[in-house]
Amino acid sequence: MLTLKAALEEATATIDRVDAHVLMAHVLGVNRAYLAGNPMRVLSETEGARVDMLVARRAMGQPVAYLVERREFYGRDLRVSPDVLIPRPETEVLVEAALARLAPRASCLDLGTGSGAIAVTLACERRDARVTATDSSEAALHVARGNAATHACDIEFLQGSWYGPLAGRRFDLIVANPPYVAAGDAHLRYGDLRFEPAQALTDASRDGLDSIRAIIAGASDHLAAGGWLLVEHGYDQGLAVESLLAAAGFRETASIADLAGIPRVAGGKI
């Protein structure tokens, strides 16, 4: 007979305490407060086996978000799978910058939508916005469509490379969190990144900026007059991205920092 308390003690011998609580709560379908209040609850054989399996996978490094198939982003619960990047808190900086520039009934394009984190958030926060989202990965779009349905968002999803499926179309705002890790960057070999889709993390360019270059280069053909482009970038790419925006003729450029004061979003107005 395995109690919740004993199962948690066993799990924390191999994985982080918070991770153990999250996995246990997931298996039992309860919140974490329940775990503290019910230490003597007895796990069924099936529950015990599921906990063992998830703890073993976590011990091998698999991301908690993939194990519980969930990640919170901007206060909403999103489904994630190994087909999509796990949404990051830094990307909320991009969302805030976008919301500050989104006029009533504006059209908005999210390039490389992944789980749909940005598109779904913008569509939920501004129910009058017309949101389009693209990704080259059909598997990612499947996850994004599911998240849009869960949150009752009406989003147009299109598959293709950057502006490929958008010939002749213009938007008031374009946002993107593209892959920006440089080829061979050591970070790709550590933590959650080892399990995330390679094409979500890196475009394999030497400086990690090829996707951002393509997005900036194509923006003038897809922005309405006075429209904004906002791009998330790596912690050390801010100056390079601002230069690319200026060279592409953006009239106003902006650099937006995260809570640690590190520039993570650059943008410009056409």
| 74-93: contacts with ligand SAM (CB under 6 A) | 84-85, 87, 91
Q: How far is the CB of 83 from ligand SAM (least distance, A)?
A: 8
Tokens matching residue 264: 């993570």
Q: Which residues pair with 70 in a beta bridge?
A: 79
107 vs 137, beta carbon nearer ligand SAM = 137
CB of 92 to ligand SAM, least distance (A): 10
- Cα(1)–Cα(199) distance, rounded to whole angstroms? 45
Residue 141-180 contact track with ligand SAM, rule CB under 6 A, x = bound: --------------------xx--------------xxx-
Q: What is the rounded CA–CA span in Å between residue 133 and residue 109?
A: 6
Q: Does 98 bind ligand SAM (CB under 6 A)?
A: no
Residue 192 per-residue DSSP state:
G
Tell me the closest approach of the beta carbon of residue 99 to ligand SAM, in angstroms: 15
Is residue 237 at the binding interface for ligand SAM, with CB under 6 A as the rule? no
Residue 107 or 134: which CB sits closer to ligand SAM?
134
Which residues fall within 8 angstroms of residue 154, CB to CB, at 6 or more apart? 123, 131, 148
Q: Which is nearer to ligand SAM, 84 or 223 (CB)?
A: 84
In degrees to the nearest 10, what's the CA dihedral of 58, 89, 163, 198?
Answer: -20
Task: Name which of 52 and 192 has its Cβ closer to ligand SAM.
Answer: 192
Residue 250 in the binding site for ligand SAM (CB under 6 A): no
Residue 69 in contact with residue 81, Cβ under 8 Å? yes
User: Which is nearer to ligand SAM, 28 or 140 (by Cβ)?
Assistant: 140
Q: How far is the CB of 133 from ligand SAM (least distance, A)?
A: 8
118 Cβ contact partners less than 8 Å away, ≥ 6 residues apart: 91, 94, 95, 98, 110, 133, 175, 177
Total number of residues that touch ligand SAM (CB under 6 A): 22
Distances in whole angstroms, Cα of residue 85 to Cα of each of 123, 150, 209, 249:
20, 19, 18, 31
Instruction: Kindly list the residues in this chain that would bind ligand SAM in the complex (CB under 6 A).
Output: 84-85, 87, 91, 112-115, 117-118, 134-137, 140, 161-162, 177-179, 199-200
